[in-house]
Amino acid sequence: MEYTHLGRSGLSVSRLCLGTMNFGWKTSEEDSHAIMDRALQEGINFFDTANVYGFDAGKGRTEEVVGSWFAQGGERREKTVLATKVYGGMSDWPNDTFLSARNILRACDASLRRLQTDWIDLYQFHHVDLRTPWEEIWQACETLVGQGKVLYVGSSNHAGWQLAAANEAAARRDFMGLVSEQSIYNLLTRQVELEVLPAARHYGIGVIPWSPLHGGLLAGVLEKQQEGSRRLEGRAKQDVDANRAALERYEAFCREIGHAPADIGLAWLLHQPAVTAPIVGPRTMQQLEGALHSLTVHLDDDQLAALDEIFPGYKAAPMEYAW
């Protein structure tokens, strides 16, 4: 396993991040524990979750599953860089949502109880809150860092100008600010190349892509459809129909160079200089094992150029649209 620093911080994380969103509702607690054990055995030390994960099994359930895994001991907690999130509503009451100082402090304590741990390595804002000032947000985070409950702070689903506003406000308080940003980023969804990635590189913010295979569209969806192992309906069908020509070229390219489409999709992200670690969210052990293969794939300049031709990206703004 290769490791890198999370943004400008001194924290070392694996080049793949284990996403736990399926744990506790799509994946049983027992199977979730087995996947986490295997990930740690393979050197994946970076685990991502959120307080709202659990969905059909109830919000908070995923954190509880991760917590029961930590409770087994064996240095599971000590070896894991744990990331969780705050923002989504945990109840119908108005102050149990968003990024007020009250919600940040109370949500952190609730996550710590569910996770059965004394600290969170990376506490992330799950979405931007345009109605709460950064001064209030950073005041709450400073309290958590001072108490030893949080070590680093990150964001998710923030625009480039919001990353700048956040870290400039933190600098005025002599606070470290954001060290990471989770954004949707994959070969099919590359808008972050305009503003988010340039801002992240400028401020030393590590990028953690979510949905690296665009919901499975970059994992050989056309071949699976032909084999009858993947049924397409609703939005997935619309996405495939809208991108069918590019996906046909992509899957042909993958066959030509002898790698599975999912491996190429993840490997491409690992070749992008702003990317720290794509989030892989397996439902099964087989899916985790598949993701590990991407770490062995090297794409040369010609192959990267071929992928850019199939899925055109963006130059950093303003060069994309100005002289």
Joined together, the tokens standing for residue 56 give 């059909």
Name the active-site residue from 3, 53, 87, 152: 53
Nearest Cα to Cα of residue 211 among 169, 293, 269, 136:
269
Q: Is residue 270 part of a domain?
A: yes
Q: Residue 108: its pLDDT value, please?
A: 98
Within-domain flag for 321:
no
Cα–Cα distance list, 105 to 7, 101, 102, 151 (Å): 24, 6, 5, 14
Who contacts 36 (Cβ-Cβ below 8 Å, separation ≥6)? 18, 20, 47, 66, 69, 76
In a domain, 61, yes or no: yes
Alpha helices in the chain (DSSP H): 29-41, 61-70, 76-79, 101-115, 134-146, 160-172, 196-203, 221-227, 234-257, 261-270, 285-293, 301-310
CATH of the domain at 7: 3.20.20.100
* 53 in catalytic set: yes
Range of the domain at 130: 3-310
Consecutive 10-residue averages of pLDDT for the chain (323 residues): 97 98 97 98 98 95 98 98 97 95 98 98 98 98 98 98 98 98 98 98 98 94 82 80 95 96 97 96 94 95 98 97 94
DSSP string, 176-222: --EEEEEEE-SSS--GGGTTHHHHHHHHTPEEEEESTTGGGTTTTHH
Q: How many domains, the chain?
A: 1
- Nearest residue to 268 via CA among 199, 213, 208: 213
Place of tokens 């790698």: 259
- The model carries a pTM of 0.95
Residue 216 placed within a domain: yes
Sign of CA dihedral 181, 186, 192, 193: positive
- Structure confidence at residue 234 (pLDDT): 76
Whether 182 maps to a domain, the answer reads yes
